[in-house]
Amino acid sequence: MIAVFALFIASCAAPARAALPTPDPAGPGTPFACRERAGQVLHVAVDSAMYRSAIAINVYVPPCYTPVSDRLPVIYLLHGGNADETQWPDLRVAQAADDLIAHGAAPFVVVMPGGDYRAGIDYAAFVLDDLLPEVERQFQVSTARAGRAIGGISLGGYWALKLAFSHPDLFVAAGGHSPVIDRGHADDPLDLARTANGIDHLAVTLDAGAADTLRTNTRQLAAVLQARGTPVALSIKAGKHDRVYWRAHTPEYLQFYRQALK
C-alpha cells in the first residue's frame, strides 16, 4: 500500500496546500480551464517485499492533476548510488516539468523512488514487483509500454538501462545519465545491448560530462546500440560526475522522455 506523508507545491514560491488541485469547470471549449501553473510533488511510501520495509518515493503530478483524470504518461527516474529519492527533486525536475507543460507539452507524471543499492538487493525486482504495481494502482499513470519511460543517474542509470534492455516490452524509452555501464556481470547493460532481443524499437538517450571517467563506457554502449540499429542519442558535454552537470541538463532529459511517450 502507498501512504501519503506530505504534499507540497513544487514551485518554491508557491504556498503549501493540503489537497490536490481541483479543476475549474468554467473553461470554454474544454472540459475545464486549469488555473494551476505549477505541479506538485507528493511524498509517499511503497511497501516493498524486496526490502521488507516501506521505501520512500517522490511523485511529481502536473497542474490540475486529479484522481479521476485520464491515465497520464509516466517517467521513472532512478537516483545515483550515493543519493536517495530527494536527488531528482533537487535537480529541479518539478520546475523543468512545469516549464515543458507551460510550453505546450501534454501533462505527464514523474516517479522518483528511493531505496539503496546495497548488496543482496535486486533493485530491478523492486521496480518491477513493488514500485510499478503500486504506483499504477494509486496514481493515474499509464500501464502501457507506450506510456512508460525510465532513466537514471550513475548507478541508477545502470538499473534503468538494465531494466529497459531486459524488458523492452515494458518501456518505450530509457536513459543513462553519467551511467555505470559495466560491473562485470553477464547481464550488465553493455552485455544486454549486444544480446537482448526486442530493443531495436527502444529509444535510448545517453550522456556524460566530458570530465567524467564514465564517458568512455558511455560512448562504447552508444556504439554497440548504433551498430545493431537501436535509436540512441549520445551527448558528451562540459561537466563532471556531479549535480551541477545533471541539474544543467535535467530539462533536456525530460524533453527526450516526453517526446518518446504517447
Q: What is the pLDDT of residues 129-140, one digit of tens each?
A: 999 999 999 999
Report the phi/psi class of residue 198: left, alpha or beta, with left for phi > 0 and alpha for psi in -120 to 50: left
pLDDT surpasses 80 at 1: no
Q: pTM, whole model, 2 decimals?
A: 0.88
Q: Which pLDDT score, from 0 to 100, does residue 121 have?
A: 94
Q: Which pLDDT score, from 0 to 100, does residue 36 have?
A: 84
CA 211/CA 206 separation, integer angstroms: 15
The architecture (CATH level 2) of 2-10+36-260 comes to 3-Layer(aba) Sandwich (3.40)
CA 27/CA 24 separation, integer angstroms: 7
Q: Which pLDDT score, from 0 to 100, does residue 24 have?
A: 37
Return the exposure string of 75-112: e unless at least 16 CB atoms fall within 10 Å of the residue's CB, then b.
Answer: bbbbbbeebbbebbbebbbbbbbbebbeeebebbbbbb
pLDDT surpasses 70 at 9: no
Let me know if 231 is exposed, middle or buried by CB neighbors in 10 A (0-12, 13-18, 19+): middle
pLDDT surpasses 50 at 12: no
CA 88/CA 247 separation, integer angstroms: 9
The count of C-alpha atoms lying within 13 angstroms of the C-alpha of 91, restricted to the half-sphere facing its C-beta, is 31
